[in-house]
């Protein structure tokens, strides 16, 4: 799941012209954490994943299989 969604988050961040450090601040996480999420070193909690999406103006949808 993360491998499918995170590249979309990166693309949206670039589209909005927001730096990783600006996004760290906007989300309220430690400096450098968004970078670690984007490259897969760390994974955000479910809550922070939703906060990240919201900060980028994205919506997350769940679909039944």
Q: What is the pLDDT of residue 4?
A: 86
* Cα–Cα distance measured from residue 51 to residue 65, given in angstroms and rounded to the nearest whole number: 25
Average pLDDT over residues 28-33: 98
Among candidate residues 65, 3, 64, the one with its CA nearest the CA of residue 38: 3
Quick count: other Cβ atoms within 10 Å of Cβ 13? 20
Q: What residue ranges do the domains of the chain occupy?
A: 2-55
pLDDT digits (tens, 9 = 90+) for 37-56: 999 999 999 999 999 999 99
- The answer, as to whether pTM is greater than 0.75, is yes
The domain made up of 2-55 has a fold known as: 434 Repressor (Amino-terminal Domain) (1.10.260)
Q: What is the pLDDT of residue 1?
A: 67
């Amino acid at each position: 799941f993360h491998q499918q969604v995170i590249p979309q988050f990166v693309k949206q961040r670039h589209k909005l012209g927001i730096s990783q450090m600006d996004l760290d601040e906007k989300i309220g996480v430690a400096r450098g954490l968004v970078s670690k999420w984007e490259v897969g070193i760390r994974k955000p909690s479910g809550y922070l994943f939703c906060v990240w999406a919201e900060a980028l103006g994205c919506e997350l949808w769940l679909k039944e299989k």
